[in-house]
Structure 1
Amino acid sequence: MGTDANHVAPRVRLTQAQLDRACERHLAYLSGIAGGAKLSLPFFDLSGMSFNGRNLTNANLSGAILRRTSFTGAKLDYADLFGCDLSEADLSRAQLHRTDLRAATLRGAVLTGARMVECDLRDGAMASATRTDFRILGMEIGPADISAAVMVDADLTRARLSGSTARATDFSGAVLAGAQLTRLDLRDAKLVRANLDGADLADADLRGANLAGAKVRAEALAASIRTDADMRRREAPAEPVEEAAYEPESTAPAITRPNAEQLEAMLTAHAQWVGSAGRTGHQLDISGQDLSGMDLSGRVLTLMKANNTRLRGADLRGAQMQAVQMSGVDLRSSDLRFADLRGAVMDRANLIDANLERADLSMLKTARGHEVRTSLVRARLAAAIFRQAKLVGVNFSGADLTGVVLDGADTNGMMLDGARGLQH
């Protein structure tokens, strides 16, 4: 966090007894027992408190001060810890499956043996548009900081730490297989015997890091920064790229960003257009516009045009997106869980770090009985999550599928000609 958390005043404090009662109500809430209530203590000052052994699944502690707080053996799966201060906290043996720790501070924290599978420790800046609570309180949102933390033997399989800071952090014996570590500052980190198999280290700063006995692929190391000379090369002006190899962003329409009222009017008109089969309303065309971080969850976007649109970090959960035209769209880190993308055209789209869990990308059946494939030709999908998604017949030709999560997905009939990175 860029702003000192102490500047948010007044901070509410609880006694340990009050906190224990709130935790018991949360347990009842998780168990479906009458009288239960979700633990929601955002921006509270809970420094030095004990959550040892507590089940805090899905709890909300975003923005809270949790310095030197103890979570030994606690379960924090799916919890919202966005932007919280966990400096010198003890999370030994804690379970943090898919916990949101974006923009959090864990400097000097102890996470020995913690299970952090698919934990999110990325730079939180892209979520700033949706975190109005932080903006109202004047709190800046920046990279997660786990510098000098002890993460010995922690399980960070497929965790996402892109763009954050982990200087002098001890990852000895940790599992970072398939983790997204792009642009992560790992200077002077200890990665002795760490498992980095399949980890993405593109532009990760490993100067001074100890990798003795670490399991890491040569090509991943080659993409990282190991020396000052590597850093100078990264900072040097880029050479011109031939148009055949890359479509420059400058060829796209000028970027504009609709305000909330304009977007609502456009979405309403589009829903009318879809519902009336084109007799009323207007088709939504947001091609070339910037809707990064916006909330479009549950919206009717069928047949939308969004070519070269920026939707980075957007919330598209459950959106109706059948037969959309989205070539070249930027959907990095977007949330597309449960979205209906049947028949969508998303060629050359960027879906790095996107979450498409339980999304439907199977063939779209038209009124005349034709079947239309969902197309992701030459798309970038590194570390995208397709857990339990319907991918029947999807065209992934030429796509980058490095580190994608396909657990439980229906992959029958997928087209993979020229696709790379998919491990069989």
Structure 2
Amino acid sequence: MNRQEFLDRYQAGERNFTYIDLSEVNLSGVNLQEINLTGANLTGVNLSWAVLSKTQLVGVCFRRADLHSTVLTQSNLNQSNLSGANLTKADLRFATLQQADLNWAVLIEADLSNADLTGAKLDQINLEQAKLNNAVLIGAELMEANLTRASLVAANLTRTNLRESQLAGANLKDAILIEANLTEADLNGATLRSTNLTGADMHRVVLTGADLTDAVLDGADLSRGNLTGAYLLKTSFKKAYLLRANLEEVYLLWSNLTEANLRGANLRRADLSGAYLGDTILSEADLRDTLLIESRLIRTNLEGSKLTGCCIYNWQKSEVEMNKVECEYVYTDFDYTNKKPKNRYPSDRNFLPGELAQDSPEDSQLIPVEFTEYPNWEALVYTLVKVEQESHELELSIQGFETQPDSFLLYVRANYLVNAKLLSQQILKSYPAMKQKLVKKRSDILRRTYAGTLYIVCSKPANAANCSSICASNIKFRHKNYAD
């Protein structure tokens, strides 16, 4: 059928054109809303700038068709053939394309927001800068697809095949990629915040500089992947595989690596502050110059790993075998002002073989704090509260007090192994400022006097009897949260 005959029939009110042959016809700019073209042959047709919203296009052949800037909102294109078609800047919002064939199609800057592409074939498709927000692509084929700088916010790509696809700079925030295949995919600089990648196959994936904050990668396989400089804050890697992965200079703060396998991984200069490493395999991993500040290592496998130059300030380790670790020295404190480790240990030599396996002589749960003058107990209590707040999950309790010939010795107990020397210095550094604050603002501090008895507000429950005897005065402690 030629163009004029077709348009005349449409203008006359006819809408059912099922199985019509309009191949190679020029229909650029026409308005064909709510038309039924089910099974039609539109091979090579020119529908650029045309309006086909709410149309029935099931099983239509659009091979090599020109659909540039075409409006196809809410249209039904299930099982249609759009292979090689040009849909640049096309509007496909809320369109249905289940089982459709879009192999080699061009959809640069197209809008497929809320579209349903379940089971669609999109191999080698060009979706550069396209919008697929809230789109459904469950089980879709996107091998070698170009999704550079595309937006897939909250899209559902469960079990989607994205092998060798280009996703550099793409936005996949809140997207679902459960069991998706991202083998050798390029996600350089991509945004994957809060993305669910549970069980995804990501062999040799490129995630350099990508943002995976709060993402879930439980059970995912990122073996030999490149994550250099990636942001992995609070990311979950439970039971994930990262064998021989490149994690150099990544930010793994407060991440969960429970039972993850990082054998042979490169973690040089990575930041694992606060990371949970329970039953994690780090054998043969390179952890040189890594920050392990307040990290928790429980039954962590470090056999053959390299730890030289790492910062272990306030780390917690339990049942960790250190005899087969390669390490010349560590840093026991961190300079938060200049953002670099400090206090090299040992200070003037390297560790002897097996020495790191022994607890540092400075590590203890009992911390002696020496005062040159009798301490102000109210200021001291608030000082301990402040120190607790500056360290993750740290709890301090007063254990004893002794009067020395030229000083006063306070004993404080921590709830886990810490560097006693550094913690003592931290308490002594904070105490004068707290004392000065109390003197200047005594009326604003939570304190009351009843019949000569001083009530001091504590951040945690304390043994009143013990504390009273330690202070050698009628001091009683009342539990209340305080943060100033």
Question: Normalised by the size of structure 2, how large is the TM-score?
Answer: 0.38
Question: Normalised by the size of structure 1, how large is the TM-score?
Answer: 0.43
Greater share of strand: 2
Q: Report which of the two structures shows the higher radius of gyration computed on alpha carbons.
A: 2
